[in-house]
Amino acid sequence: LMVFGKSMFLYQEPVKFVHDIVKDWEVPPVIMFDMAHVLGIYGAFQTPLSEGANIITGSTHKTFFGPQRGVIAGNFPKGSPLRKLWLDIKSRAFPGSTSNHHLGTLLALLMAVYEMNEFKEEYQKQVRANAKSFARALKDTGIQVEGDEKDGFTETHQVVIRIKAHGDGQEIARRLEENNIVTNYQALPDDETFLKSSGIRMGVQEMTRYGMKEKDFDQLSGFIADVIIRNKKVKEEAKRFRGNFLQMKYCLSPKEAFPIAAKIIKSIFPYPDFADLFIENLEKNI
């Protein structure tokens, strides 16, 4: 088994390069790509299943919006010597290792998938544009940004900064959170331990979905620099700034979602009259 994927995810993984090397081996390894962080930008960022990966795993609450769930997808066509592996994965995922597939969040996941299919191109483009703009703006404030400046520092939703000159990662993350800016302290490749991290990892996807654009992330970079470099308090400014973005974007309106919801409800309720009554009451509350 060969596994690609990481938590600090700025650039593509060399899936095709490795696949082309191992594909003619007598017993080629299974190639798996953990897309937990980047599933929501599949296609715009990377397409590992078409590059030679056999399996991808992912989360539905990071770049791929939705309730907190996991996804396993495979590329095992009929006739593949690995076909049995995929059947084993399916049976062990349910009802094998996870005997409860959480029906309470399944409909929410379905609606999230509808929304992702509807808004994918627009959402993915804005996420990546925001990340690049955010990284450049942070660099302009004097903060050291990881990644290659020629590539805009990142190809995903993540921006990683090196803050060792200003303090320990945990300390900086705490100071930012005290100022209403929630981040993730991050060990960088040359750090000895995660507990002594010299990086901060940030993702733009959540606030992109609340409508922030490039210029807004430019403004946010100023707040971050105030806290990290100047040790300034920006708690109230950050709160007021966040108040400008309260309406979720890239999602179906109630009127757009209602016909889909009605169709789903009719398909699962055993009694048509009850389903019609339920839908009628639901429509009144839209």
Alpha helices in 188-234 (DSSP H): 205-209, 214-228
Average pLDDT over residues 194-223: 96
Which is higher by pLDDT, 230 or 254?
A: 230
Please give the pLDDT value at position 215.
98
Measured CA to CA in angstroms, residue 280 lies from 259, 267, 270, 271 at distances of 12, 16, 17, 14
pLDDT reported for residue 211: 97
Reported as type and span, the H/E element at residue 109 is helix 103-141
Q: Decide if 201 contacts 237 (C-beta within 8 A).
A: no
For residues 212 and 245, the answer to whether their CB atoms sit within 8 Å is yes
- Residue 196: pLDDT band (50, 70, 90) is confident
* Least confident range of 30-39, 63-72, 235-244: 63-72
Instruction: Give the pLDDT of residue 146.
Output: 98
Q: Are the beta carbons of 181 and 227 closer than 8 angstroms?
A: yes
Please choose, from the candidates 201, 221, 111, 119, the residue with its C-alpha nearest in 3D space to the C-alpha of residue 156. 201
Tokens representing 284?
């009144």
The overall average pLDDT reported for the chain is 92
C-alpha span between 212 and 193 (Å, rounded): 34
Write the CB contacts of 60 (distance below 8 Å, at least 6 apart in sequence): 39, 66, 67, 68, 69, 70, 71, 109, 112
Q: What is the pLDDT of residue 150?
A: 95
Give the predicted TM-score (pTM) of the model: 0.91
- Residue 29 and residue 94: Cα distance in Å, rounded? 25
49 has pLDDT over 80: yes
Residue carrying structure tokens 């707040």: 223
Query: Tokens representing 102?
Result: 């959480």
Phi and psi at residue 194, in whole multiples of 5°? -65, -30
Residues 6+ positions from 275 with CB-CB distance below 8 Å: 265, 266, 269
Task: Give the C-alpha separation, 216 to 204, whole Å.
Answer: 11
pLDDT at 96 (0 to 100): 66
Q: 32 or 79: which carries more pLDDT confidence? A: 32
Q: Once rounded to an integer, what is the mean pLDDT over residues 173-191?
A: 96
- Mean pLDDT computed over 226-238: 98
In a 3-state reduction of DSSP, which class is residue 187? coil
Average pLDDT over residues 193-202: 92
Torsion of CA 94, 64, 221, 192, to 10 degrees: 30
195/168 Cα distance (integer angstroms): 9
Do you know the residue count of the chain?
A: 286
Minimum mean pLDDT among 17-21, 87-91, 100-104: which range? 100-104
> What proportion of the chain, given as a percentage, has pLDDT over 70?
98
Question: Is residue 99 scored above 90 in pLDDT?
Answer: no
Class of domain 2-101: alpha beta
pLDDT of residue 265: 78
Sign of CA dihedral 34, 37, 41, 46: negative
Which CATH class name applies to 120-242? alpha beta
